Structure 1
Amino acid sequence: MGSALETLCGQAFGAGQIEMLGVYLQRSWLILGASCVCMLPLYIYSTPILKLLGQREDIAELAGDFSIKIIPQMFSLAINFPTQKFLQAQVKVGILAWVGFVALITHIGLLFFFVRVLRWGTSGAAVAYDVSAWGVALAQVVYIVGWCKDGWRGLSLLAFKDLWPFVRLSVASAVMLCLEIWYFMTIIVMTGHLGDPVIAVGSLSICMNLNGWEGMLFIGINAAISVRVSNELGSSHPRAAKYSVYVTVAESLLIGLFSMAVVIAARNHFAVFFTDSVKMQKAVSDLAYLLGATMLLNSVQPVISGVAVGGGWQALVAYINLTCYYIIGLPLGFLLGYKANLGVQGIWIGMIMGTSLQTIVLCIIVWKTNWEEEVEQASERMRRWTANDDDEVRLIN
């Protein structure tokens, strides 16, 4: 839900309306805070929910206890994510890297202290998680209040205005992302019901780990192109927005082709870093070509999704994800995996088909986009959501 700020803060910064960034930030805090309250029952009653889903009782009890103890961490995300987007929109990413680095070192120390020294077990891990998460959130807020005077003008009653349009954009952003994440999670669940689930899930997990490592790079590119597109649209530079998309997609595609080539060339060797089982290594090797194809797709898909966020197309992409992933990809994977007896390869082929269709549709949309009209829509959005100076009410200087 915090990615709504990528659209609004990015376009406002590009349009020179920097004073509105703080208002958008506060609106996002309100909406995400309310969302955390709505999600509290999932954390509090996670034990009975897991038991209802068929999870083993001891695991459900342990997970439920851990879920309750990380509730403070959930609320820290309502502060953390909006502040990240606020800073990214102004290309102030260096501070995010430093805060993240210090938080990582601190988190390791806290884990050692609470888990090993105090011997609190999973409770200690939860406490370390809570402390680290709030440390990151508060550090970012302190930086914004102290060093972002142009974007932060103090608390404002304007944060309570125009909440409903903001909610709709936030929900569309959340649905777009959740549909994508749940899609890949569902693939693993489906694989767990195959004839040899240990080998099937294990081999798929190894491949997904490698895919995730590569994906971190493209998540960064996703954030960069989202900020660039939103900034250029807000600045009324349609050609710059258009060509930044083309350059970024070409760059990402080259990285994806290289990653695919490396995986295919090393298909008989890279599994030894994850398992000693010869059978598991053979299963991973059999999936290498599908992993390579997925890496190639994932070099383009996150970039196009970043363009969509920068342009404010979240609702459209949510519908595309629903159709391509859940109406086409998952059913096709089920048929190939279970009915055609292709196993994990069939399920993965269905996933690739869904992702391919989604990527093709988004590429066509980007190719046919009238960027001059996008600039006009961004300008209209800024006019509609920007308050007059007379309306601004500051509560804290």
Structure 2
Amino acid sequence: MASGSGTRPIPAKGPAAADFLGAVGASFRSSSPLAQAVLARDLAECSDDDVENGPSDLAAVDSDSDDDVPGPTLYRRPSGIAFGTTRPAFSLGPAGLDEPPILNRLEQARSRDAERSLLRDNHILPPKHYASPYGQPKGMIASLYKRVFSTKVPRKPVDEETPTGPDETTSLLGEENRGQNGASESPDHHHEHLNEHWQAAVAAGQIKTTWQREAKTIAGYSKSLILTFLLQYSLNVTSIFAVGRLGTLELGAVSLATMTANITCYAPVQGLATSLDTLCSQAYGSGHKTLVGLQMQRMIYFLLTLVAPVAVIWLNAEPILASMIHPDSAHLAAIYLRTILLGAPAYMVFEAGKRFVQAQGLFHVTLYVLLIAAPFNILMNWLFVWHFGWGFRGAPLAVALTQNLMPLLLFLYVWLVEGSDAWGGFRRAAFRNWGPMIRLALPGMVMVVAEWLAFEVLTLASGRLGTATLAAQSILMTVSAITFQIPFPLSIAGSTRVANLIGAKLVDAAKTSAKVIIVAGLLVGLFNFALLSTFRYQIPRLFTPDAEVIELVARVLPIVAVMQLFDAMAAMSHGLLRGIGRQEFGGYANLAIYYVVALPISFGLGFGLDWQLQGFWVGVTIGLLLVSLVEYLFIWLTDWNLVVKEAENRNSAG
């Protein structure tokens, strides 16, 4: 996962673009021939006025701090920020190993810090803090604290140790770097030999890690991701909370409408937009930053062409839904869909804009937008549904307003704060060269839509059992989706960490990190299990006062609680598969088990044995159990050394 070093000239239009692509091979990895073809064509069409005169912030490595050697190999920020609004179990998005390792200067510095820290923990570089003249704290508590929380790799016995280069007693940079008092200065001020030490240590197999370090790293990655996911999902949950207090019919209708919107609009849009994870990253990594804006414009115009077919479906949803569920539920769901149509174009713009800032390493922007949009959405739901007395119609109007606010906030941040360098203005070229982009986007859309469809089928099936059952199903789906917002971001963080270690050729460290991820998934699953089991009667009361619905939910929640264990473990296995570059296996395993095993069992138990909702969720639970077993078996049988070689070949191939 090496990124290039030094600065490279940016080509003008013409055949030089083809030569430039070869030179850029050291700066970023092509994860798709289609993406490379798109970039070549766009570069060939660029005018001289579009050429960047200065070095790219991402392509260039700080020449003051490092030699002209391959740059950072260990640090990648977790992406997949705010992916989806429901329960995606797998993605072909940026968390996989196939994403180009585009790093900005700050991330390059963090990569050096991460490498330096690992070298210290393995006793190859001097410690960051030299020994205090007053000695180290001693005692049982201090010893226990060090044993539990220290990230340092335990030293081998003296007779087993082999020379490892500089240690605490060896000068790292020679006598010329000693301070006035004769003591060695902190190596933090000296970067020029870091890559040399790092590469030598990796080649000698001296870099190890500890579960403490991996737990600390993954926790650091996860905390902002979990908050972001919870905030984005709150946009839907708020409507369900607000409407659920109106009645059982309204509660079932809002869930049905949300699922229909997911399968007919939101899922396809998110799936198609995943192509920008590759296209925008590679455009920015090429050094021609304004191509990022071009790719975003292309995707926005393409997505906006989908507004017409979505409008046709949503405006005529009532007769379609009425043929499958109770007419009253279909009527309310149709009202919801017709209203949120006002926010559909803005949603499409935001999904493309989100990738625009992520390609520049500005992952925090989405979180900032949601920190404003989520409270705004809660306020609008309260005003429209309750304060103004608009009832059911107020909830979708609040969602539509929030969806229109989000791209506006994103635009204001880019315009006023950071990110505008990659815009480049409106271009006619955005209306050309759509073919490769669409071919790159379709696989992502198919995978995302296929999973959404499985849960949509269960929601529609529950609607045939009555209004109360549909309302109970909406609560169960919402609760399981909320709990999923913890393991899924954790799996993204885990996949990023494993991909980093694989790219750095640290097989043993990657396996240690994988074990930590699995244990973390188990702990999260147990937490969710305990939460749902303990509050099985209190949770449904948050959504509805209806006694029949509360009893239905309380009866099924123990099954959903058991499912949390397998759900969390499956999320971790998906993350590990993405980390080792085997996400395709996870995607197809999910599809096969969902449609060949889980759904048939759910229908057989729900309708055949008349277990109803309990049967539906037993089938899903069995499916997730099988997914976990199959994927962990595949991971266990995978040759991780071969995975490292494949990653190295992709890096070398550019």
Q: Any gaps of 5 or more consecutive residues in structure 2?
A: 1-82, 85-90, 104-281
Residue 189 in structure 1 maps to residue 457 in structure 2: no
Q: Give the conservation status (yes or no) of the 8 Å contact 1:175–1:318.
A: no
1:79 counterpart residue number: 349
How far apart are the structure 1 equivalents of 2:604 and 2:526? 29
CA-CA distance at 1:326 after TM superposition: 1.0
1:45 counterpart residue number: 316
Q: Give the conservation status (yes or no) of the 8 Å contact 1:114–1:128.
A: yes
Identify which range, 333-342 or 107-116, moves more after superposition.
107-116
Q: Give the conservation status (yes or no) of the 8 Å contact 1:229–1:241.
A: yes
1:261 counterpart residue number: 530
How far apart are the structure 2 equivalents of 1:311 and 1:160? 36
How far apart are the structure 1 equivalents of 2:625 and 2:458? 16
CA-CA distance at 1:271 after TM superposition: 5.4
Question: Are the structure 2 counterparts of residues 317 and 377 from structure 1 closer, same or farther at C-alpha, using a change threshold of 3 Å?
Answer: farther
2:643 counterpart residue number: 371
Residue 29 in structure 1 maps to residue 300 in structure 2: yes
CA-CA distance at 1:138 after TM superposition: 2.3
Question: Are the structure 2 counterparts of residues 296 and 115 from structure 1 closer, same or farther at C-alpha, using a change threshold of 3 Å?
Answer: closer
1:148 counterpart residue number: 419
1:329 counterpart residue number: 598
Identify which range, 241-250 or 181-190, moves more after superposition.
241-250
Tell me which of 372, 384, 402 is aligned to 1:132: 402
CA-CA distance at 1:102 after TM superposition: 1.5
Q: Give the conservation status (yes or no) of the 8 Å contact 1:176–1:321.
A: no
Matches within 5 A, 1:241-320: 244-267=513-536, 283-306=552-575, 316-320=585-589
How far apart are the structure 1 equivalents of 2:631 and 2:570? 8
CA-CA distance at 1:348 after TM superposition: 1.8
Residue 11 in structure 1 maps to residue 100 in structure 2: yes
CA-CA distance at 1:279 after TM superposition: 6.6
1:347 counterpart residue number: 616
SS in 1 for 2:631: helix
Summarize deviations over 1:173-225 as a string: whole Å, max 9, x none.
2222222233233223334445xx46655555444333222112234334444
Q: Give the conservation status (yes or no) of the 8 Å contact 2:602–2:615.
A: yes
Identify which range, 3-12 or 174-183, moves more after superposition.
3-12
TM-score by length of 2: 0.48
One-letter identity of the residue aligned with 1:6: P
One-letter identity of the residue aligned with 2:647: V
Identify which range, 95-104 or 205-214, moves more after superposition.
205-214
Q: Give the conservation status (yes or no) of the 8 Å contact 1:203–1:284.
A: yes
Identify which range, 363-372 or 42-51, moves more after superposition.
363-372
One-letter identity of the residue aligned with 1:13: I
How far apart are the structure 2 equivalents of 1:126 and 1:301? 33
One-letter identity of the residue aligned with 1:237: A
One-letter identity of the residue aligned with 1:72: L
Summarize deviations over 1:145-195 as a string: whole Å, max 9, x none.
55125655555677667644443443322222222233233223334445x
Q: Give the conservation status (yes or no) of the 8 Å contact 1:169–1:315.
A: no
Question: Are the structure 2 counterparts of residues 223 and 84 from structure 1 closer, same or farther at C-alpha, using a change threshold of 3 Å?
Answer: farther
1:393 counterpart residue number: none
How many percent of aligned residue pairs carry the same amino acid? Answer: 24
Q: Give the conservation status (yes or no) of the 8 Å contact 1:253–1:299.
A: yes
Question: Are the structure 2 counterparts of residues 66 and 248 from structure 1 closer, same or farther at C-alpha, using a change threshold of 3 Å?
Answer: same
How far apart are the structure 1 equivalents of 2:519 and 2:424? 40
Identify which range, 334-343 or 160-169, moves more after superposition.
160-169
SS in 1 for 2:490: helix
CA-CA distance at 1:329 after TM superposition: 0.9
Summarize deviations over 1:81-133 as a string: whole Å, max 9, x none.
23334445666443322221212333344456666677666665554433321
Matches within 5 A, 1:66-105: 66-88=336-358, 92-105=362-375
SS in 2 for 1:11: coil
One-letter identity of the residue aligned with 1:358: V
Residue 107 in structure 1 maps to residue 377 in structure 2: yes
Question: Are the structure 2 counterparts of residues 189 and 37 from structure 1 closer, same or farther at C-alpha, using a change threshold of 3 Å?
Answer: closer
Q: Any gaps of 5 or more consecutive residues in structure 1?
A: 384-397
Summarize deviations over 1:24-43 as a string: whole Å, max 9, x none.
54444344333444433212
Identify which range, 139-148 or 272-281, moves more after superposition.
272-281
CA-CA distance at 1:247 after TM superposition: 3.4
2:442 counterpart residue number: 171
**Bigger proportion of residues as helix:** 1
Greater relative contact order structure (CA < 8 Å, 6+ sep) = 1
Aligned residues: 377
1:208 counterpart residue number: 477
One-letter identity of the residue aligned with 1:375: A
One-letter identity of the residue aligned with 1:142: L
Question: Are the structure 2 counterparts of residues 307 and 275 from structure 1 closer, same or farther at C-alpha, using a change threshold of 3 Å?
Answer: same
SS in 1 for 2:285: coil
Summarize deviations over 1:344-384 as a string: whole Å, max 9, x none.
33332211122222233333444426432552575489x4x
Q: Give the conservation status (yes or no) of the 8 Å contact 1:5–1:86.
A: no
